Each structure stands twice: as C-alpha cells, then as structure tokens.
Amino acid sequence: SSRVAEKWVKTTCGYCSVGCGMLVGVKDDKAVAVRGNPEHPVNRGKLCPKGLSEHHILTAPGRAKTPLLRKNGTLTPVSWDEALDTMVERFAGVQQKYGADALGVVGTGQLLTEEFYTLGKLVQLGFRSRSYDGNTTLCMASAVSGYKLSFGSDGPPGSYADMETADVVMLIGANIADNHPILCHRLERDAERTLIVVDPRVTKTAMMADLHLAVKPRSDIALLNGMAHVLIRDGLIDSTYISQYTDGFHQYKEFVAEYTPERVAALTGLSEETIVRVARLYGKARAAFIGWTMGVNHSTQGAVTVAAINNLALITGNIGRAGASPFSITGQCNAMGTRESGFTSSLPGYRKFEKQADREELARLWGLDVERIPTARGLAYPDIIEAAVAGKVKALWFIATNPAVSFPNYSVLEQALRSVDFLVVQDGFHPTPTSDFADLVLPAAIWGEKEGTYTNSERRVSKVNRVVAAPGEARADFDIFLDLAERLGVREELYPGWTTTHDAYKEWQRVSAGRLCDYSGISWEQIEEESGVQWGGARLYEDGVFRHEGGRAKLYNVPCEPFVEQPTSEYPYVLNTGRTVEHWHTRTKTAKVQLLDTMAPYAWLEMNPVDARRLQLKPHDRVSVISRRGSVKNLELRITGIVAPGQVFMPFHFAETNSNLVTLGAFDPISREPNFKQCAVLVERF
C-alpha cells in the first residue's frame, strides 16, 4: 500500500516511436508506477515491458548529477557557471583557430521537439557551425531521403490505423514484435488480412506472418523490382494513377522488365512461384500497406530501397487512401519531431538549404539577415566523425547519445573521440562508454523530468510531461541551450522572451505554418485533450499532389547491388545485428531497470545448426566474432534455425560485447546512414 500513487501524470512513453500514451503514478514526489492510458488512440491502454517499467528509470542509479570538468586528467565536479563558461571558451578557441565548422555537434531523437528546434538554431545560427546532425542518421535518415526522392518531401504518408484497414500488410526488415511491440496489436488475427514478412531471419514478427519470405541478405531491392515486373506484366497496376500523378513510368517499366521472376529467384533465394504470388497478393489488394524499419534503412542502398518501396505503392495507387501507404516505422520516440524541426538534413519545416525562397522565409520569420542561414547542409554524423579523425573537427558535443556503443566500426570512432581538443558529453547518465572520454560532462534531465512534445511515426504530436524533478544539479537540455545562448550573446536575438519549452513550441508553430508538417493549428491544450494530434491529418497526399516541382511523384530505377562486404573463405559468415524487446539502444537506461536487465542480461550469437555442426560447437559454448576491424569476445552461442546457414545474428545493445567492434564503416551515399546490417565475420570458440 506504500506504493499506491497519490496522483497520475498523463504522458507519452520515451522509448520507441510507437508513442504509447501512459499514466505515471507519483507518491511522495517519486514515480512509483506506470499504466497504459486506456483512452489513448495508439496503444489503447497497453504497454510493452519497457513502457511498463519506465517509472523505474526515474529512480535509477548512475545519474549524472553535477557538471564534471577534466582537470589534470580527472573528471572533477564544477559549478554550472564554470562548466558553461569553459565550454563556450573552448569552442570559441577551436573555431577561431580552425574555422566555425571545426565544432561538431550531434543531437538526438531523445530530445523534445522544442529542444531540438532550439538546439538547431543555437548550433547553426549561434555557434555558426554547420557540422551538425542528429543520431537519427544512424536509424531513419534513409527513410527521410527515400521519401524526398519519391515524393519531394519527407513525411510518412499513412497512419497506424492503415495497418488495420489494409487487406495486405507487407513488413520489410521490420521486427515489430521486438522493436515496436504494441504495433502488433494492429495485426491481430483477421481472416481478411494477409501479413507478409520479408526478413532473412525467422523473427518473432516473421512467425506471425501468413507468408514469410526469408530472402538472402540485402536482396529486398530485387524482390521489390521483381514484384513490379509481375504487377506490370499481369496488368495489376493503376494506369490512371500513374499517368495523373507520377513521372518516370516508361523508363521504370523498361528497367523492371529485366527483373524476371527467374532472375529475382536467383537473387533472393525465393521460388519463382513465391515472387509471383506475393506480387499478385499486393496487386490485387483493396488497400496494401508496406511498413519497414532498420532492415531497409541500415544499408548503403537504404535511401534507394525506400524509393523502390515507394515505386510499388505509386504504380498500384496504394498511397493517400485508407489502408494504403508506404510507411517508415521510426526508431526513437522523437525521431520525427527532430527531422521536422530540422537544421540537420533539412532546414526547419522540411525547407531546403539550397532554396533561396525557403531561406528568405525563415529569415523573415526570425527577423534575421538571410545571409545568416546556411545555403547547404554541413557535415552529416559519419562525416563529422571522419573530419574529427582527419583533424578538421576539433571539438565535439554529443547530446543524449552514446556513440561509443552505437556508432559503427568502433576503432575509427575511438580515434575521433581521442583526436579532438575538447569533448562535451551531455547526458542523463554518467559514466557511459562515451562520457568516459569526455573533457566536460553536462548532467541533463531525462524523460519524466521535463515538459514538451514528441512526434511518433504516424506524425502524432504527443505531450510529454514532468513527473518528478531532475536529480542533483541536472538541468533540462532546453535550459542548458538557453544558458549557452546567453553566454554567446544571442539569446534575445534567437529566442526573444523565451523561458519555457512552450515558448519554443509557439515559435515552431509559426515557423511550420503552411508547411507539410504544419503544427500551427495544434495547441498543447488540444494535444492533451485528444491524447495526441496528427499533423497533416490521418493521411498525406490524398489529392495526389506531391512536393516535387510540378506536384508529381517520381519513379526511380533502383538496381540491386551486392552488399559491400561479401563473405570469403576467411570470413565466411554474414553478420546481422538487431534488437531485443527488453532493451533500448545502448542500454544507458534499460540496463539500470532491474526487471529488464534480468530478462536479458547479456548478448548472444545465433547460428544455424548446420554451421554449428561444421564448427563442432554446442549450445551455450562461448564464442568470439571476428571481422577485419575487430572482435567481439565471449558471446553465448545459441544454435537455432532462426538464422539461415551462412548467417549469424547478435543484438547490438550491449557495451560489454559491442557489435560495433566488428561492423563496417560504410555509409549510404545519399542518406549517410551506416550499413550496420551485413559484414563478413569469422566465428571461433572463445
């Protein structure tokens, strides 16, 4: 009874992009319980294990509570004044000596939209560095780029409700049962719906499917082109939609003519019959939905794979209608809010750096000289890391992200962290594998300790509320940004009269007004009342008018290329990485929630029985995974048919057995997203 809550605070889960509504119970100023919000349109009262235990994070050990500055090699507690004065002084020193872009900043989809919007202005207009990106480049940049290629703008066209309405749902590289568990309720058994799952691995989601297509790694493009081939050949396309709303069909038709079922069967490992069957299922559907996540995005061909998915939707008119959408299921709780409020791959409100009219409009809205607004995107996240290794970026500032575990090819990342003159890590927790390298640690408030909004995958803007006070001297990221602006002398210019995140939200409403991601009519009050409001309504592009000049969508020819690092006799296995339901990304939080840590305390390696027999390995043997770049030692071996022969899988959450010691530093040329998914490895007994 001592745990009975005195009050319940309505808020939104801070883990994944499903964006479940929840109530956090508070007693004696402590969070003591969580329950799903039964009135919430997304989760209807349900929560997954991470959500159900989220209150524990507010009393978890290991919080950063005071600023720490490295003095004589040791991180030493200092006042906020000393911390921020030093930061501004050291950044200025680096920028004076090496140029404005020598300051690299990486933000995160963990921030509130109001904070990310504030940070973008601070970095690009205050510090005047263009070396700025979000950790979202590690997860959904390919979806952003793919939408821009096809439709002329980012913005997922559909809603979660479309998964229910569709009669064919195809999930590609999306293990929602582990990564977006509450979405599975949208796919509960329904004789009217066919669920197709495309994944090289027999994931929990694949087990839910009517049809699981266990394609060869990275052959999804071949499958998509092969489906288009059959759809066109069999007349299962929407010729009216194609001629009214798209460009490029003639060349696309010629291009996919070469992707015959026979050729696609060889590329994917599927039978010709299966390819024809899946194409016909998709083509004959009343409404077809394609959802994808990291299996598509985490690739050097991620952006164009998204375009290949969009092609299918466009030629069959499966977009802008109930149940019909190509839909990127995002990763982090606020990946969407960060990509909209911008200054990373786009200017705020999906405006383009290179478009004079867009820059002028922003300058007018902000009362700034247009010359202040950058005319091109600066360095993306991987390029900031490369520039640090090359000695061009000399100061780094990471905010609520943990690259020492999450960035591919750890040895290069470590060089970057060691090369810079000044490294600032702003996080709710310390130590973390990244903050261990820091010259300055800034303690930040986390989810549950601050107020603002997140936007989920279906463009639903939700309120996140303050449940308890931040511990020690930890401060909201927003307050840290304003304090830095003050020290730079730009606070009144960039943030006139602002004191709260609501001030930032009000400006963001004005700045987004009239854009595709228009927040102007969505007040905080309305969000609270309706448990979230979708910008753009339930569906985009209902009128068939897209965002390219001329208003037409574009069909792209996307060739299927072999993935970068093919297996050899020396490194004979293809390593795939992914997630497990209990954990969130690098476990900065979830390792500290006892329940979750107990459920999944360490990583493992999945290997097919055929390969295990050949290597004379038994279940639970300890093994090492070795690539050309490094090795992960002492993993538990799980021998299972979940993975195909020649492939192995390990979860990427665990710092102790960091999969990024072996992954590849190869990036999508368009989105700059890393190819986390396939690299060639050797497996040995530990």
| List of residues contacting ligand SF4 (CB under 6 A) | 13, 15-16, 18-20, 43, 47-48, 50-51, 180-182
Residue whose C-alpha is closest to residue 106's, from 428, 338, 351:
338
Residue whose C-alpha is closest to residue 603's, from 644, 660, 647, 653:
653
CB 113 within 8 A of CB 338: yes
Question: What stretch of H or E contains 441?
Answer: strand 440-443
Q: Tell me which residue has tokens 């730009």.
A: 490
> How many Å apart are CA 428 and CA 11, to the nearest integer?
19
Residue whose C-alpha is closest to residue 8's, from 32, 24, 29:
24
**Closest distance to ligand SF4 from the beta carbon of 109 (Å):** 13
> How many Å apart are CA 643 and CA 438, to the nearest integer?
39
Q: Which is nearer to ligand SF4, 50 or 351 (CB)?
A: 50
Give SS3 for 351: strand
**Taking the chain, what is the end-to-end CA distance rounded to the nearest angstrom?**
49
Q: Which is nearer to ligand SF4, 184 or 214 (CB)?
A: 184
**Closest distance to ligand SF4 from the beta carbon of 186 (Å):** 11
**Closest distance to ligand SF4 from the beta carbon of 190 (Å):** 20
Task: For residue 431, say if its preceding peptide bond is cis, omega within 30 degrees of 0.
Answer: yes
Q: Which is nearer to ligand SF4, 447 or 573 (CB)?
A: 447
**Closest distance to ligand SF4 from the beta carbon of 309 (Å):** 23
CB 177 within 8 A of CB 188: no
Q: Which is nearer to ligand SF4, 56 or 554 (CB)?
A: 56
**Closest distance to ligand SF4 from the beta carbon of 329 (Å):** 11
**Closest distance to ligand SF4 from the beta carbon of 160 (Å):** 11
Contacts of 290 (CB under 8 A, 6+ apart): 169, 170, 171, 172, 309, 312, 313, 318, 325, 326, 327
CB atoms within 10 A of CB 136: 29
> How many Å apart are CA 256 and CA 230, to the nearest integer?
9
> How many Å apart are CA 344 and CA 119, to the nearest integer?
11
Q: Which residue minimizes CB distance to ligand SF4?
A: 51
**Closest distance to ligand SF4 from the beta carbon of 295 (Å):** 18
Q: Which is nearer to ligand SF4, 174 or 395 (CB)?
A: 174
**Closest distance to ligand SF4 from the beta carbon of 596 (Å):** 11
Residue whose C-alpha is closest to residue 346's, from 100, 547, 587:
547
**Closest distance to ligand SF4 from the beta carbon of 457 (Å):** 10
**Closest distance to ligand SF4 from the beta carbon of 52 (Å):** 7
Q: Which residues pair with 396 in a beta bridge?
A: 104, 423
Residue whose C-alpha is closest to residue 444's, from 145, 101, 52, 67:
67
Q: Which is nearer to ligand SF4, 16 or 516 (CB)?
A: 16
Q: Which is nearer to ligand SF4, 177 or 237 (CB)?
A: 177
What pairing do the DSSP bridges indicate for beta strands 573-578 and 679-685?
antiparallel
**Closest distance to ligand SF4 from the beta carbon of 181 (Å):** 5
Residue whose C-alpha is closest to residue 427's, from 419, 417, 418, 437:
437
Q: Which is nearer to ligand SF4, 48 or 504 (CB)?
A: 48
Query: What's CA 65's distance to the chain center, in Å?
Result: 28
Q: Which is nearer to ligand SF4, 64 or 182 (CB)?
A: 182
Q: Which is nearer to ligand SF4, 182 or 648 (CB)?
A: 182
CB 291 within 8 A of CB 169: yes
Residue whose C-alpha is closest to residue 466's, from 48, 83, 7:
7
Q: Which is nearer to ligand SF4, 407 or 447 (CB)?
A: 447
**Closest distance to ligand SF4 from the beta carbon of 526 (Å):** 21
**What DSSP designation does 469 have?**
P
Q: Which is nearer to ligand SF4, 274 or 590 (CB)?
A: 590
For the record, the structure tokens of 97 come out as: 């000596």
